[in-house]
Structure 1
Amino acid sequence: MSTLAFQRTPITHHTLVTALGRGRAATFEALRSGRTGLARRGFETADIGSWLGVVDGLDELDWREDLAAYDCRNNRLAELALRSDCFAEAVQAAAVRWGARRVGVFLGTSTSGILQTELAYRERDAATGALPESLHYGETHNTASVARYVRAALGLQGPAHVVSTACSSSAKVFAAAERAIRLGVVDAAVVGGVDSLCMTTLYGFKALELTSGEICRPWDAERAGLSIGEAAAFALLERPDGPARAMGWLLGAGESSDGHHMSSPHPEGAGAAMAMRAALASAGLQPGEVGYLNLHGTATPGNDAAEDKAVSAVFGTATPCSSTKGYTGHTLGAAGGVEASIALLALEHGLAPPSLNLQTQDPALHAHLLREPLQADLRVVASNSFGFGGSNASLVFGAAA
């Protein structure tokens, strides 16, 4: 087996939990009907005057006593996704096929369980400032905690790591998992991302003046900023010669790092275009073979403008595109995994979802934004995820058959 060429890799299961609901069916119904999961609301003690995509009901979730140290909002969100669409059962079946040591866990997150530490700071010792002993930093706040939790909850023994490259995190793990399978490190991999709301995220994006008081409007002439959400999304990748039926295929992946600015994208979208071209090249495809492109599409003025230039340079202006952040909000480190699952739903159902809240497309932006659902025989779709610091990732997916 070649150690150089990208290997077409089957995705044998996937699921997601967002503000739209739990699982693939609830998500697709919202995408098909144009229902948003965003609402004008606060979270905990923070109200930044914005629309948020909150997953309700996490506090009521029952929890395993043997994993009590991992109990935090981020891992509860992960657990809810593991229980959706029988995903945990699919992984356990893969562990039987390949062995628990041959199933890896590759996840993305940006802030992990930082909320747990924020809550612990409210309970500091008045005299010493010491944090309470109930805070289990390594199992909750630490970036690697979500992969450790998922690995333990599923009874896996293979390698596990977390990618934390802001909003490209859970797209990049697809590329990491493909490499690990191709090189024989593992035979299967749980990939995806989990990011939960916290004060650091909400106040941080507010301070950067990236949030909007209105619901996010990607590509709109009057767009004013993003709406923040939380989510968990998982996919199961396996060796191409395995017996499990593919629900879709990872055909290609491209990554780049342009390092233009700590938080602003390259104004010409140079790194974004590089990632898209690399994804197409690894898949052996031409731009015209992609039937739908899920944009990063955050609705900030600079990000949409830079991505539009990159998309127009690579795909031209005919490829149907949309941003699905008007449905889920920008789920940050989970966005790549969420939108990979949405891309797979588009392939399965032959339906590309429209961008929500687009009233008048910015005349300076030229990508072909969908305003209505596009019913088509989709065979190949792509998805973009771009993060702070110029970390860019683009994925290409193919239909199951």
Structure 2
Amino acid sequence: MSSPARTDVAVTGLGLVTPAGIGVAANWERISSGRSTASPDDNLTGLGVDFSCRVPGFDAGALLGRRNAWRLDRVAHLAIVAAREAVADAGLDPATWDGARVGVVVGSSFGGSATYEREQARLAEDGPDMISPLLMVMAPVNMTAGYLAIDQHALGPNLVVSTACAAGTSAIGTARHLLAAGMCDVVIAGGSESTITRTTMASLHRMGALSTRRDSPETASRPFDADRDGFVAGEGAGMLILERAADAQARQARVYAHVSGYGASADGHHPSSPHPEGDGAERAIRAALADAGVEPGDIGHVNAHGTATAMNDVTEARVIRRVLGDHPAVTSTKGVIGHLIGAAGAVEAAYTVLAVHHGSIPPTANLSSLDPEIELDVVAKDARPATLRAALSNSFGFGGQNAAVVVTAP
């Protein structure tokens, strides 16, 4: 296996705020245990689906200061906490770095949707004079990256990519291109999403995307299981510190893994259903492999998109088998944390990095009876030790937007 040094990007820091916990250590322990985080959600009482996967014990006031927390939507709260952990983990200091050489790329699908929904209700109930003047700096999708720049003194390229459920992976790929082009030396890249609102959840339920196991939320998310019936919505943020591998080596940074390849595509088929043959997904995966300079046989692990919806899981499984064969050990961490929408790809890429780093593949939660149409080696029950040279993380979103990254051992 070979990988062009000029395109290898080092992951030197990680930050995670998810339903599996606050911090990388808590996340890895929970993901490796295969224990679901889904539970009843009081904010969804009365809806057809009244459970979700939320970040436990997240006190934005304590973590960010009460005034800062009050002025930001939860999507920014989650992103900032994750980014602070990632930067510290990388051994970097915003007080001393050259901010003009630090970029930010965040994946998000909805932005500050909870704030927008709250203010819309206020407009309807109390009239226009009661709308918050902060709405326009809290709700827009670009503001999460903007607030990260303010918090971290990151003054280089600053943008949000919004490719639905592929957004977090698209952000990592975009960051990789910025580094390869020499536009910055460090990029805070990842995703953040907090859109478990009544309107969003009601719509997802109406379109049949969500599991309806209200009597057993903890077993509701069942990727690849024959009895799956939809995904469980989650929230969270995942941030990676990316640097050119040579730069990381020069400063003697600890390197978790390399992001060695990125591929993206569009199905051009349907607004919400995947291409029946997985055409776009296959092109994204093959592009990522080619970009990384690896062969299909080099991939030892796939962190699948694995939503636990009927069509996605079978289509993705067929693509994985067609491109990679049946040898990679496949998992979907959505069985534990649910579907984090725009943040999903970033968090799952971070889990893939940790799998390579620790030599361990997390299990797919709630998988008791593998769908016979899914002819893959899906890890279940317990984490599996493995020495991984290369791994793949897939993300596919509404609009037929697909992205994949190849992670390799440093």
Do the two structures share a fold, i.e. TM-score over 0.5? Answer: yes
Cross-structure match for 1:25? 25
Match among 343, 352, 355 for residue 334 of structure 1: 343
| Counterpart secondary structure, 1:218 | coil
Give 1:310 shift: 1.0
| Counterpart secondary structure, 2:262 | strand
Runs (5+) with no aligned partner, structure 2: 214-219
| Aligned equivalents of 2:92, 2:72: Cα separation in 1 | 26
Give 1:255 shift: 0.6
Q: CA 1:272–1:97 in structure 2 vs 1: closer, same or farther (change >3 Å)?
A: farther
Q: Does 1:193 align with 2:191?
A: yes
Match among 386, 392, 403 for residue 376 of structure 1: 386
Give 1:119 shift: 1.2
Q: CA 1:295–1:378 in structure 2 vs 1: closer, same or farther (change >3 Å)?
A: same
Give 1:199 shift: 2.7
How many residues align? The count is: 394
Asked if the contact 1:32/1:353 (under 8 Å) is kept, the reply is yes
Give 1:52 shift: 1.1
Cross-structure match for 1:390? 400
Cross-structure match for 2:282? 273
Give 1:46 shift: 6.2
Asked if the contact 1:95/1:102 (under 8 Å) is kept, the reply is no
Asked if the contact 1:69/1:136 (under 8 Å) is kept, the reply is no
- TM-score scaled by length of structure 2: 0.90
Query: Aligned partner of 2:302: which letter?
Result: L
| Counterpart secondary structure, 1:307 | helix
Cross-structure match for 1:290? 299
| Aligned equivalents of 1:203, 1:87: Cα separation in 2 | 34
Query: Aligned partner of 2:242: which letter?
Result: L
Q: CA 1:356–1:50 in structure 2 vs 1: closer, same or farther (change >3 Å)?
A: farther
Query: Aligned partner of 1:292: which letter?
Result: H
| Aligned equivalents of 1:65, 1:36: Cα separation in 2 | 31
Cross-structure match for 1:225? 230
| Aligned equivalents of 1:149, 1:350: Cα separation in 2 | 35
| Counterpart secondary structure, 2:118 | helix
Cross-structure match for 2:149? 151
Q: CA 1:272–1:46 in structure 2 vs 1: closer, same or farther (change >3 Å)?
A: farther
Query: Aligned partner of 2:104: which letter?
Result: V
What is the identity percentage for the equivalent residue pairs of Structure 1 and Structure 2? 36
Cross-structure match for 1:167? 165
Asked if the contact 1:294/1:324 (under 8 Å) is kept, the reply is yes
Q: CA 1:338–1:190 in structure 2 vs 1: closer, same or farther (change >3 Å)?
A: same
Q: CA 1:32–1:357 in structure 2 vs 1: closer, same or farther (change >3 Å)?
A: same
Asked if the contact 2:106/2:171 (under 8 Å) is kept, the reply is yes
Give 1:216 shift: 1.3
- TM-score scaled by length of structure 1: 0.92
Asked if the contact 1:112/1:142 (under 8 Å) is kept, the reply is yes
| Aligned equivalents of 2:294, 2:99: Cα separation in 1 | 35
| Aligned equivalents of 1:103, 1:183: Cα separation in 2 | 13
Q: Map 1:360-371 onto structure 2 (within 5 A).
A: 360-371=369-380
Cα deviation, 1:17-72, whole Å, max 9, x if unaligned, reads 11110111111111222222122334356644354111134455234577567422
| Aligned equivalents of 1:180, 1:60: Cα separation in 2 | 31
| Counterpart secondary structure, 1:278 | helix
Query: Aligned partner of 2:392: which letter?
Result: A
Match among 305, 308, 313 for residue 317 of structure 2: 308
Q: CA 1:91–1:26 in structure 2 vs 1: closer, same or farther (change >3 Å)?
A: closer
Give 1:7 shift: 0.5
Query: Aligned partner of 1:387: which letter?
Result: G
| Counterpart secondary structure, 2:189 | strand
The CA RMSD over aligned residues, in Å, is 2.2
State which drifts further: 239-248 or 339-348.
239-248
Cα deviation, 1:75-110, whole Å, max 9, x if unaligned, reads 122233234xx4343578265675101100000011
Cross-structure match for 1:79? 80
Q: Does 1:355 align with 2:364?
A: yes
Query: Aligned partner of 1:118: which letter?
Result: E
Q: CA 1:131–1:387 in structure 2 vs 1: closer, same or farther (change >3 Å)?
A: farther
Cross-structure match for 1:7? 7
| Counterpart secondary structure, 1:93 | coil
Cα deviation, 1:172-213, whole Å, max 9, x if unaligned, reads 111111111111111110000000022332122112111112
Cross-structure match for 1:255? 264
Asked if the contact 1:40/1:49 (under 8 Å) is kept, the reply is no
| Counterpart secondary structure, 1:17 | strand
| Aligned equivalents of 2:331, 2:286: Cα separation in 1 | 19
